[in-house]
Amino acid sequence: MSNNNSIVVMQVCDGFTDQILKLSFSLFIRDTFNRNVKLDLTFYDNNKKDFLGIDNREFILTKLFNNIKFEAATQEEIQKSKENFIDHSFGKDKILSELKKTNKSIYLDHKIVWIRYFYNLDFTKYFLLDDYLYKLLNDRQINILNDINNNESIAIHIRRGDYIYFANMVNIKIPSIDYYLKSFEYFYTKNKHSKFYIFSNNIQYVKDNIIPFIQDVYNYEIIDGNKEYVDFYLISKCKHLVQSNGKFSEIAFRFNNYKNKELISIDNSDDIFNKEILEKYKEFTFDRVKFKSYFVYSDIPLNSIINIINLIDKNNIKNIIQIGLLDGVEIHNILNYAVKTNKNLMLNCFEINDRELVGFDVRNFNDEENKKFNLHINKTPMDIESTNIIKNTIDFILIANENSSPLLIFYLLYMYPYMKDDIIIVFNKLNNINYSLFSTYLFDMYDGEKSFFFNFSEKENVGYIKINKNKLLALIKNISSVSFDDYNNKFFYKNIFDIRDDYYNYYDIESAYDRVNNLKEYMQKYNIEYEESIIENIKTNIEEYNRNRFSLFKEKNYNTIYQNNIDEIKIMTNNKIDYLDDKINKIQNRKIKIFGIDNFVDRKIIYIFGIKITIKK
């Protein structure tokens, strides 16, 4: 230990795994640089709460591992060391250089441990779980441990609580239910004797949203009622892990000594679950395209692009309609596939944006690609009669997220005479509260063949339905009766030319009725069923919005709750509708909208433009 009076103060805060990382780094400093390291533990004196101020945070690590000794820094030492404050922006090399200077005290911000070099340090040698945590287990927990050791054990970690709200704020991907279900299927397919041990800080969520799908299929056990360090220890003993968001289970699994251990995370799930088709289509798929001097990334994740192409290939698709250009990368992939593999495929794209095309320049297409691509600029599917598209030929529709508003009712009805009897529709941004609910209604209520493409994020799911067009028409009739909120209803009547411009400053009710009357004539012309009901429902929506449109931007309670609408429509369709309860739970409690920012369900604190606001229930 250095003989001078300089010290290194390490800031420690948050929960169990954060404490492991920060004390490991502190031990690394002590061992490597022979520095006197003390801990800033004021977080636990002043706060002791999680992100939402609900669950207690306690500095517990040195109590559990009493072989590890550290002094707590005094306030005087903390203030003195902050004269040389170091955070993660310094970078690895500069931080290591500063630590070598033993003649001055320094203060290390807690985020330093996220630098990859420090995060990947071997901390398992400092924390001997078997020596210190095993002896803390009770008889019930020892029985669970023995069961884990004697089975092909897979830990399923489902983290909810404060991290979900934090992730929503900073746009971190949250594992979807489909991510977990696909993980169950993956391990069970590899070994029919697998047993799944489910760990969560919200067991009720697990019982409501996961168990109904697995209870008659897999061998599982819910692990409940333990201290977090017990769950941490048990997870470390499972042979495999399905990781949630956050660090808890990931850090636990780094203590796993099983030779053939396997980890599934959001980061590697694409490669694991889509390995076969990734290999099949990798030669002509990519997730970015050069546009002038910069790269544009796909609006749809690469694994979903590959799944879309796989869907096109398996179903021998010949005529695709894409509504909206997305960011162009998807079109490059589809055309590249068409030229090399599917010689008879034709892609028609309707784009209402008359500005320079976003994401790519059509001049980048080669001659072969141009032969397979028709761009209908400044047009929507409502202009389909003015194109060269032949009736009864459309077998695939790809919908960009900004075109999934209730106006999609119009688009699908105008395309109806041009559809084949059976059609595939792909939706982007399903179950994303930041976008329209219309696609989500259609997807959730359909009881036939459908699937997500396993993007595994609650915010970015891409999925498809394979549907008979008469069944689609019946669903459109039922959904047209739904009273959508202000944000979505404006798409019913707004004279849209470029939906990205002038969202809230232009209203044209007269044009709205003209559009409805034109639709009525069109449906009569082609003898499209349910014409009277659909037209009447749309008019009701327009009238309702015209009455309420001046309340836009004001805090208001939405009378239309997703659950209620689903219940009503279920009656209309004789209870044959299949929908996902977890998606409904997220939407049904959305009551407050402030300047377009949605309040999170059951949240006590929100941040608007950086201002902390406490919401009283």
Lowest mean pLDDT among 152-166, 211-225, 285-299, 302-316: 285-299
The pLDDT assigned to 459 comes to: 54
More confident: 345 or 587: 345
Q: What are the structural domain ranges in the chain?
A: 8-119, 129-269
The pLDDT assigned to 330 comes to: 75
Angle at which helices 562-572 and 469-479 cross, to 10°: 130
Spatial distance between the Cα atoms of 181 and 178, rounded to a whole number of angstroms: 5
* 8 A C-beta contact, residue 453 and residue 503: no
In the predicted model, is pLDDT for residue 227 greater than 60? yes
The pLDDT assigned to 290 comes to: 53
Question: Per residue in 489-548, pLDDT tens?
Answer: 544 544 333 333 333 334 567 777 888 899 999 999 999 999 999 999 888 877 776 666
Spatial distance between the Cα atoms of 40 and 37, rounded to a whole number of angstroms: 10
Which architecture characterizes domain 129-269 according to CATH? 3-Layer(aba) Sandwich (3.40)
In the predicted model, is pLDDT for residue 555 greater than 60? no
* 8 A C-beta contact, residue 476 and residue 529: no
* pTM for the model: 0.60
Lowest mean pLDDT among 253-267, 504-518, 558-572, 593-607: 593-607
Q: Which two tokens stand for residue 38?
A: 């003390």
The pLDDT assigned to 473 comes to: 96
Q: Give every strand in the sheet of 152-158, ordered side by side.
A: 219-223, 194-200, 152-158, 240-242, 262-264
More confident: 400 or 362: 400
